[in-house]
Structure 1
Amino acid sequence: MGILSRTSYVIRSKINSILNRAEDPTETLDYSYEQMRDQLQQVKRGIADLTTQKKRLEMQKRRLEENVDKHNGQARTAVQQGREDLARKALEKKKTKMNQIEDLERQISELQSQQDRLIEQKNELQSRIEEFRTKKETMKARYEAAEASTTVSEAMTATGEEFEDVGRAIERAEERTQDMEARSAALDELHQSGAFEDVLSDKDSIDRELEEVAAGSGVDAELETLKAEMGEGESERASEPDAETEAEADLDDDLDLDDLEGGAVDEDVEAELAELQEEEN
């Protein structure tokens, strides 16, 4: 295969592929149906033209038949008048007209045969068109149902081109979000570690460390002072008599006496309670 032949073949294959993708089966079926209807109309026009020609020949035949009758009458009249020469001429014209009539009858018969064939073909074509119309509508319904089902399936599975674009957009947005989160975390870590200098301050990292040490020393000193103050207060309270302890001792003595007296009271209560329970039973 030569270069030109291969190039032509590739071009035709590409064009065919493009046409296949662009082709809408429903439109193709409708177009085919219209083409078949146009063919039917052409057949009908052909039948009409053929019938018109046949009618013209039949009209011409009738005129010739009228002439035959006229020449026959002329021959009879000439014989009655003793004009054999005129009678002979009339019969000759009659014979010529009868020959023409025979030719016309043969042509009319042929036209009639053609008309019959065309009518039969027209009926067959019309039946095929009706059958194709039924199949066309069925195929269109099936195609539209399949197209709708495919659209729903692509929407559910996100496999369509538009859904693929949406999926890629979501992936890109997620990647950018993750990058921004990672960058923000890295900046926070660097800021806490002091790796970035404060552009509004003239202190370096050593100055900041010294300030942190000084602040810690001040807190420790204040804590020791508080501990010392708290220790002196506890020693003074320990040297004073514990009035609360004496009150607690007196309260314990009172509770012991109440327990002795309460024992008898409890016995009376228990006895009365038992009597009430018996009455209820």
Structure 2
Amino acid sequence: MGILSRASYVIRSKLNAILNRAEDPSETLDYSYEKMRDELQQVKQGIADLTTQKKRLEIQKRRLEENVEKHNEQAREAVRQDREDLARQALEKKQSKMEQIEQLETQIADLQETQDNLVEKKDKLQSRIEEFRTKKETMKARYEAAEASSRVSEAMTGAGDEMADVSRAIERAEERTDEMEARAAAMDELEDTGAFDDALSDKDSIDRELEAGRASSEVDSELETLKAELGKSSSSPSSSADADADADVEVEAESEPETESQGGNDDPAVEAELEELKNEEDA
């Protein structure tokens, strides 16, 4: 099989498949019924035309018969007047009209036979059309019932195209919902950990640690203040002695880091920067 033959075969098969899917039996039956009715109407029109033609020939035949009778009278009158020549002419015309009448009778008989055949065919065709109409309505009812049953079955089993689309839509909605729920949970977790605050702030990790240290220092300072207030309100000498001892400890604790920082760091630039920071805090 050549390429063109194969291509033609494939195209015809594809078109046939498309037509089969697009074909509606109800519409096909209705179309066939209308075509048969059109044919019946054409047959009736042909019978009417044939009958009209036959009537014209019959009228022409009657006129010829009247002429024949007229020529008979002319021949008799000519004989009574001893005009044999006129009588002969009248009889010749009569003979010509008789021949025409015979031809018309043959044509009329043929038309009558054709008309009878057409009437018989028309009756058979009309009977077939009525039979087809009954069968058409029965087939349409069966098809519509089968189609409705198929749709119900597809809806119940979810095998139909529309139900498949609905199922896919539900699956997509569930996936989208799960995704949005996971995203919302992630946002809540990030908000709880303070990630959003860190992201929106322009401070780095050193600034945040320094702020945390200052907050802790303020808490310690307030705690010492409360201790001092409680110590002043106490009347026992031991409390005063303890307060003095605590003060000495604090003084020693403050002096020791300075000594360590001075002896432990050999970098002059770092020492100078630390000294500047201390001066700023004292100021």
Shorter chain as denominator, the TM-score bin is: 0.5 to 0.7
2:86 alignment partner in structure 1: 86
Once residues 26 and 138 of structure 1 are traced to their aligned partners in structure 2, the CA distance between those partners, rounded to angstroms, is 10
Deviation at 1:173, TM superposition (A): 2.9
Aligned to 1:168: 168
Provide the residue aligned with 2:18 in structure 1.
Answer: 18
Tell me whether 1:138 sits opposite 2:138 in the alignment.
yes
Alignment of 1:148-167 (within 5 A): 148-167=148-167
User: If the length of structure 1 is used for normalisation, what is the TM-score?
Assistant: 0.65
CA 1:84–1:197 in 2, change beyond 3 Å: closer, same or farther?
closer
The match for 1:67 is 67
Residue of structure 2 in register with 1:243 after alignment: none
Which residue identity does 1:67 align to in structure 2? N
Rounded Cα–Cα distance in structure 2 between residues aligned with 1:189 and 1:60 = 111
Alignment of 1:125-274 (within 5 A): 125-178=125-178, 199=198, 202=205
Please identify, of 178-187 and 79-88, the stretch whose mean Cα deviation from structure 2 is larger: 178-187
Equivalent residue runs for 1:98-113 within 5 Å: 98-113=98-113
SS at structure 2 position matched to 1:159: coil
- Displacement of 1:186: 8.0
Measured at CA, do residues 77 and 182 of structure 1 come closer, stay the same or move farther in structure 2, by a change above 3 Å?
same
**What displacement does 1:172 show?**
2.6
- Which residue identity lines up with residue 158 of structure 1 in the other structure? G
Structure 2 length as normaliser, TM-score? 0.65
The structure-2 alpha-carbon separation of the partners of 1:74 and 1:191, relative to structure 1 and needing over 3 Å to count, comes to: closer
Kindly provide the amino acid, as one letter, of the partner of residue 163 in structure 1: M
Q: Provide the identity percentage.
A: 74
Deviations 1:204-250 (A, max 9, x none): 9xx9xxx9xxxxxxxxxxxxxxxxxxxxxxxxxxxxxxxxxxxxxxx
> Is 2:109 aligned against 1:115?
no
Q: For the residues of structure 2 that align with 1:190 and 1:82, how far apart are their CA atoms?
A: 144
- 1:183 offset after TM fit, Å? 6.8
* Cα separation, 2, equivalents of 1:175 and 1:8: 46
The CA distance in 2 between the partners of 1:82 and 1:138, in whole Å, is: 83
Unpaired stretches in structure 1, ≥5 consecutive residues = 212-281
Partner of 2:251: none
Deviates more, 1:155-164 or 1:110-119: 155-164
Matched length:
205
Distance 1:64 1:9, change over 3 A: same
Q: Aligned-pair distance for 1:99? A: 0.7
The answer as to whether partners of 2:190 and 2:196 remain within 8 angstroms in 1 is: no
- Cα deviation for residue 139 of structure 1 reads 1.0
Return the offset for 1:16.
1.6
AA partner of residue 102 (structure 2): E
* Letter of the 1:14 counterpart: K
Residues 28-39 of structure 1 aligned to structure 2 (within 5 Å): 28-39=28-39
Q: How many Å apart are 1:178 and its aligned residue?
A: 4.5
Dislocated runs of 4+, deviation >6 Å: 182-192
Aligned Cα root-mean-square deviation (Å): 2.7
